[in-house]
């Protein structure tokens, strides 16, 4: 049977590198499971793999949506399942840190687009916020953004059978100690700046683009506040690092609670050891 290998975990832990190594070993295609990397032109701020990093391996579901447009978990479920069907005779590596996207596509999530919208008029923002945190810990919504909180809770129109995996997938999670991860995240933000993050974001800012993708994406919304003159550049970059660290923590929480993940403690000094451990897990499934 052909393999479906899912590489998950927090931002900055080496998922892209492992996905390419495994794809080359198993002659696989790579499918994206990152909610920001689906957008065209958002390259540096989303840590999208470069052509050099792809090493000639075919990558799909990257750069498929204009950042002006909306793209939802419902869209992703449809698109990923289409790719799984298209490549059913190939080994597949799915890589990304957006847990809800991955679970919606691989598990028995059914969307009812005709469901009624509940406005939750009887609940305070704080109550809504707590409910959203419990149900969707990967979402980053401010307590005062009532509109988005309500929209998130109306995801109860998602009928989920949480333990019903529809595809024969194996989940490999990459992890490391908190101090190492946080240091890697901080250094990666600095590297993004060196590679032109400010210029990338300024391009969209000058175009007046304030779409959902831009205004909710870590690394974009903070620099918009800087360009708006609300905060200094230093404050903006500190916020990007802080929010990236918090996002990584939420990613861990989500994957540990929602999926049967085989966790590997990454050996950054000799990444081949991490690769070998992943292969052992895959071969024993």
**C-alpha to C-alpha distances, 168 to 36, 91, 165, nearest whole angstrom:** 26, 11, 7
| pLDDT tens per residue across span 215-272 | 999 999 999 999 999 999 999 999 999 999 999 999 998 999 889 999 999 999 999 9
Range with the lowest mean pLDDT among 103-112, 139-148, 159-168, 210-219? 159-168
pLDDT at 116: 43
Q: Within the chain, where are the H helices?
A: 15-25, 51-54, 73-86, 99-106, 125-135, 146-153, 178-195, 197-206, 212-216, 221-227, 233-258, 271-283
Domains in the chain, CATH or no CATH each: 4-178+245-283 (3.40.50.300)
| Average pLDDT value for the chain | 91
For 89, the token pair is 């005779």
pLDDT band with cut points at 50, 70 and 90 for residue 114: very low
| Max CA distance (Å), the chain | 56
pLDDT band with cut points at 50, 70 and 90 for residue 159: low
What per-residue string of b and e applies to 270-280 under the rule 16 or more CB within 10 Å gives b? Answer: eeeebbebbbe
pLDDT at 129: 80
pLDDT band with cut points at 50, 70 and 90 for residue 144: confident
pTM of this structure:
0.84
How much of the chain, in percent, has pLDDT values that exceed 90? 76
Number of Cβ within 10 Å of residue 223's Cβ equals 25
Specify the length of the chain in residues.
Answer: 285
Reply yes or no on whether the pLDDT at 115 is more than 50.
no
Q: CA 98, CA 92: separation in Å to the nearest integer?
A: 17
């Amino acid at each position: 049977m052909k393999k479906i290998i899912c590489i998950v975990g927090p931002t900055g832990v080496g998922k892209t590198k492992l996905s390419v190594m495994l794809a080359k070993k198993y002659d696989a295609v790579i499918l994206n499971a990152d909610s920001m990397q689906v957008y065209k032109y958002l390259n540096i701020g989303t840590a999208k793999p470069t052509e050099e990093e792809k090493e000639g391996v075919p990558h799909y579901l990257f750069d498929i949506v204009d950042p002006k447009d909306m793209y939802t978990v419902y869209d992703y479920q449809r698109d990923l399942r289409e790719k799984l069907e298209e490549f059913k005779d190939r080994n597949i590596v799915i890589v990304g840190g957006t847990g809800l996207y991955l679970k919606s596509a691989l598990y028995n999530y059914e969307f009812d687009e005709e469901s009624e919208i509940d406005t939750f008029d009887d609940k305070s923002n704080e109550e809504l916020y707590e409910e959203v945190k419990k149900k969707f810990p990967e979402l980053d919504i401010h307590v005062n953004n009532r509109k988005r909180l309500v929209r998130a809770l109306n995801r109860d129109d998602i009928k989920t059978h949480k333990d019903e995996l529809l595809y024969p997938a194996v989940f490999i999670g990459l992890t490391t100690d908190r101090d190492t991860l946080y240091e890697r995240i901080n250094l990666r933000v600095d590297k993004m700046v060196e590679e032109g993050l400010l210029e990338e974001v300024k391009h969209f800012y000058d175009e007046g683009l304030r779409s959902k993708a831009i205004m909710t994406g870590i690394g974009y919304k903070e620099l918009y506040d800087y360009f708006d003159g609300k905060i200094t550049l230093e404050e903006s970059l500190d916020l990007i690092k802080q929010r990236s660290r918090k996002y990584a923590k939420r990613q861990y929480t989500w994957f540990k609670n929602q999926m049967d993940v085989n966790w590997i403690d990454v050996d950054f000094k000799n990444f081949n050891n991490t690769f070998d451990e992943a292969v052992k897990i895959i071969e024993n499934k």
